[in-house]
Amino acid sequence: MSQVKVEFHQADLSKRKLLKAASLGGAALAVAPGIKLFQAAHAKPDGQPVTDKNRWGLLIDVNRCADGCNDCVDACQTENGWGSGSTDEQNSRDDQKAQWIRKVSVKDPQTRREFNMPVMCQHCENPPCQDVCPTGASFQREDGISMVDRHICIGCRYCMMACPYKARSFVHEALSDQRAHQPRGKGCVESCTLCAHRVDKGKIPACVESCQHGAMLFGDLNDPQSPISTKLASIPSRQLREDLKLNTGVRYTGI
Amino acid sequence: MNIRLRKLLARFLLFSVLSGLGLMSMNLVYAGASEVLSGSRAASLDSCVIPDTDDMRRNHMELLFHKRDQTMRQGIRTYGDNEVSLNGCIACHAAKDDQGQYIPVNEEGQFCQTCHVRVAAKLDCFDCHRTTPETN
Ligand code: SF4
Ligand code: SF4
């Protein structure tokens, strides 16, 4: 296969249009059939803090992500208690409601190739959300997971504006139907936590577990032996908006 | 002694006596009534995860702050029957209604709300945290 230098060529698009319009001049590569993108996380010892020994990440194979399938989004809603996973947010407009993960459809206008992929918080190593947060509520765990500390979030929504991936949501109304492990509430911003509550128990994120097409692989980017690292070392992969040099923890192959 | 100083002293004394009385009556209430509700799991146990109930009454917020930062920032989660966390508190202290459904801990007369109303401290926790044990 010829080596193709791929570059995003729509850096001038506004970030909101970007994800819809991304036409990526890249070679589409399929992961060899029969390779299941799946890895169990390593449980950290109980009672120990997370460390920067790990950096958790995802590899999403766009060629496997099935048209019309919404399993990862559904699983996230159930797991984290938003959208269909909750009876709350009845008074919010659809565009106000929380959206931690979404299926994004992409069409390359030049080749007319169409594909779709799940997009969530990309767990940037250099997160713009954290740069702009005036309170320190946007933070990163040692293991690279980006989160919002709702106890000190003032709801200014700077992070929502700063995030190039539209990954964050603001809760507009009082809630009462939260999951016990996932507090959520009015006046705070929230986003994908990479299922930190599951990862801390040695489980993989709910979206990855739910994907029947093997399109998502979760694992430790810092461990060169981990399935995700060996996969990343052997096939081409991309960051969304890699021009921003955020070093995202979520990577895509096939775009 | 000048008259203004005397007045000031008198006011201070009055204030001390009154606030002393207030604190005493609060302690009396604390000592007299039990916030542990019949029907909650806590009612069937000898003591809290912190055996010194007075200590728990005065300092539970410090413990919760400490635990929240550990859980959220460091990913230290505790599980099991004696879960030491806000979820653990709720699992143990939530009472059930006649239909056997859990009553939110921040409702009138329930475990958290009873004292918080008395001391006029707003219960912010439940703007975000679930108020009943999760059954499913
Ligand atoms: S994707 Fe957005 S919310 Fe997630 S770390 Fe990056 S800037 Fe922050
Ligand atoms: S909305 Fe909250 S997390 Fe986002 S920038 Fe403002 S204070 Fe920080």
Neighbours of A154 (CB within 10 A): 13
In a shared domain, residues B44 and B27: no
A12 band by pLDDT with thresholds 50, 70 and 90: very low
Output the domain CATH number for residue A164.
3.30.70.20
Task: Note whether A73 and A211 are within 8 A (CB).
Answer: no
Q: In which band, very low, low, confident or very high, does the pLDDT at A30 lie, cut at 50, 70 and 90?
A: very low
Within a domain: B133 = no
pLDDT band at B80 (very low <50, low <70, confident <90, very high): low
* Mean pLDDT within A169-181: 96
Q: Which residues have C-beta within 8 Å of that of residue A6, sequence separation ≥ 6?
A: A24, A25, A26, A27, A236, A238
- The ligand 2 atom at the shortest distance from the C-alpha of residue A138 is 3
Please report the pLDDT score of residue A2 as a whole number.
36
Q: How far is B80 from chain A (nearest CA, A)?
A: 12
Please tell me the distance between residue A123's alpha carbon and the centre of ligand 1 in angstroms: 6
Band of pLDDT at residue A45, cut at 50, 70 and 90: confident
B116 shares a domain with B75: yes
Residue B136 maps to a domain: no
A107 pLDDT higher than 90: yes
B76/B58 same-domain check = yes
In tens, the pLDDT along B11-32 reads 666 556 555 555 544 444 444 4
Query: Is B101 inside any structural domain?
Result: yes
Are residue B45 and residue B69 in the same domain, yes or no? Answer: yes
Our CA-based measurement puts residue B31 at a distance from the nearest CA of chain A, in whole angstroms, of 31
Q: Looking at the 3D structure of chain A, how many domains does it have? A: 1
Considering the domain boundaries, does residue B107 fall inside one? yes
Residue B41: DSSP 8-state: G
Residues B20 and B56 occupy one common structural domain: no
Whether B74 has a pLDDT exceeding 80, the answer reads yes
Provide the whole-model pTM: 0.80
At B77 the pLDDT is 85
Confidence of residue A234 (pLDDT cuts 50, 70, 90): very high
Atom from ligand 1 closest to the CA of residue A140 = 5
> Into how many domains does chain B fold?
2
Q: Are residues B47 and B64 in the same domain?
A: yes
Spatial distance between the Cα atoms of A60 and A54, rounded to a whole number of angstroms: 19
**A179 → closest Cβ in B68, B74, B130:** B130
Together in a domain, B118 and B53: yes
- Lowest average pLDDT, out of A25-34, A109-118, A123-132, B110-119, goes to A25-34
Q: In this structure, is residue B65 part of a structural domain?
A: yes
Owning domain of residue A11: 4-253
Interface of B with A (CB under 8 A): 68, 70, 72-79, 87, 90, 104, 127-131, 133-134
Residues B52 and B111 reside in one and the same domain: yes
Burial B47-81 (b: 16+ CB within 10 A, else e): ebeeeeeeeeeeebeebeeebbebbbbbbbbeeee
CB A227 within 8 A of CB A219: yes
Percent with pLDDT over 70 in chain A? 83
- Please say whether the beta carbons of A144 and A246 come within 8 A: no
Domain containing B22: what range?
Answer: 1-32
* Same-domain status, B14 and B42: no
| B135 located within any domain | no
pLDDT tens figures, A142-153: 999 999 999 999
Is residue A14's pLDDT more than 50?
Answer: no
